[in-house]
Amino acid sequence: MRRRVYDRIVQIILIAIASMMALFLIYLVGYIIGSGIRGFSFGFLTRAPSGITQTGGVWPMIASSMYLIGLTLLIAVPLGVGGGIYLAEYAGQGRIVETIRFAVDILSSVPSIVFGLFGLALFVQFFGLKYSMLSGALTLTLMVLPLLLKISEESFRAVPVTYREASLALGATKDQTIFRIILPTALPAVFTGVLLSAGRAFGETAAVLYTAGLSPTTPVFPLDGGRTLSTHLYLLATTGKIEESFKVAMVLLVVILVFNVLSNVVISRFRRRFIKEAR
């Protein structure tokens, strides 16, 4: 009889923990969005902040964040997706490839503040790129590269072997098969990796603090500095501008939610397609 009571208790505890986590998330999201939406207008997104308090608008920060994400993806996507193709389609199990895989694992674990330090030392100072979009993007590239590599490799491996066989049987070369058949098929799954990387880059603060800089201006050229939205939230929240912080935090959360929903939709489409074809 004791084991049945035990079973029941464990079940109740597990349900309690899961509900607690769900409630926590709902509370966090609800509280921030609920508070942020008060007094929110779209002008907030399109205005520049004003005065010494630097409040009232976040357009330069949105511009900096988008600029930074765009530039990062421009550099990181070819490298990450290309590398993913290599790891999935060409790489064997030699020593070089093993070393690269190990390096990718280590790179994925490097704390973001260390990326920031490194970016400061190499890009900002050694290469003289100053606090700039380019310095930030190069730093973020290294940071999101492991994620992109991993997801791309998995996406290519998920393409059914019959596709390759059919293409090769028709006389296509290996390179042709990869770029005309496999790449287009795997693209939706690769795209989720791109979305996740963009989300990562968007929320990142420690790595861009001392590479992209703090200047609340709208960047035009890659060598212009700028303050991202997440950096802005850090500066606002630690200087006691709570009301403004709520608005910025809300914008951050909403964007992250959209990224998440979008990547889930894309990946589930991708999966459904292959399940259908397997039948």
The residues, ordered by sequence, that sit 6+ positions from 227 with a Cβ below 8 Å of its Cβ are 60, 61, 64, 212, 213, 214, 215, 216, 217, 235
Q: Is residue 107 at the binding interface for other proteins, with CB under 8 A as the rule?
A: yes
Q: Rounded to an integer, what distance in angstroms lies between the CA atom of residue 76 and that of residue 233?
A: 26
Give the one residue of 14, 37, 220, 265 binding other proteins; rule: CB under 8 A. 14
What residues form DSSP beta bridges with 55? 50
**Cβ closer to other proteins: 82 or 220?**
82
Number of residues that bind other proteins (CB under 8 A): 97
Q: Rounded to an integer, what distance in angstroms lies between the CA atom of residue 181 and that of residue 85?
A: 13
Q: Is residue 73 at the binding interface for other proteins, with CB under 8 A as the rule?
A: no
Closest among 142, 132, 143, 125 to 68, alpha carbons compared: 132
The residues, ordered by sequence, that sit 6+ positions from 65 with a Cβ below 8 Å of its Cβ are 202, 228, 229, 230
The token duo for 164 is 């390759």
Q: Is residue 106 at the binding interface for other proteins, with CB under 8 A as the rule?
A: yes
- Considering the complex, what minimum distance in angstroms separates the CB of residue 67 from other proteins? 18
Q: Is residue 12 at the binding interface for other proteins, with CB under 8 A as the rule?
A: no
**Cβ closer to other proteins: 223 or 237?**
237
Q: Is residue 225 at the binding interface for other proteins, with CB under 8 A as the rule?
A: no
**Cβ closer to other proteins: 64 or 245?**
245
Contact predicate 177/159, CB 8 Å:
no
Give the one residue of 58, 62, 63, 87 binding other proteins; rule: CB under 8 A. 87
- Considering the complex, what minimum distance in angstroms separates the CB of residue 50 from other proteins? 22
Q: Is residue 37 at the binding interface for other proteins, with CB under 8 A as the rule?
A: no
Give the one residue of 74, 114, 220, 265 binding other proteins; rule: CB under 8 A. 114
User: How many CB atoms within 10 Å of residue 52?
Assistant: 5
Q: Is residue 145 at the binding interface for other proteins, with CB under 8 A as the rule?
A: yes
Strands (E), 62-188: none
Give the one residue of 66, 79, 187, 223 binding other proteins; rule: CB under 8 A. 79
- Considering the complex, what minimum distance in angstroms separates the CB of residue 248 from other proteins? 9
Using CA of residue 201, residue 205, residue 207, residue 210, what is the dihedral sign? positive
Q: Rounded to an integer, what distance in angstroms lies between the CA atom of residue 254 and that of residue 68?
A: 18
Interface mask (CB under 8 A) for other proteins, residues 233-262, using x and -? xx--xx---x--x---x--xx--xx-xx--
- Considering the complex, what minimum distance in angstroms separates the CB of residue 115 from other proteins? 8
Q: Identify residues 154-213 at the interface with other proteins (CB under 8 A).
A: 157-161, 164-165, 168, 174-175, 178-179, 199, 202-206, 209-210
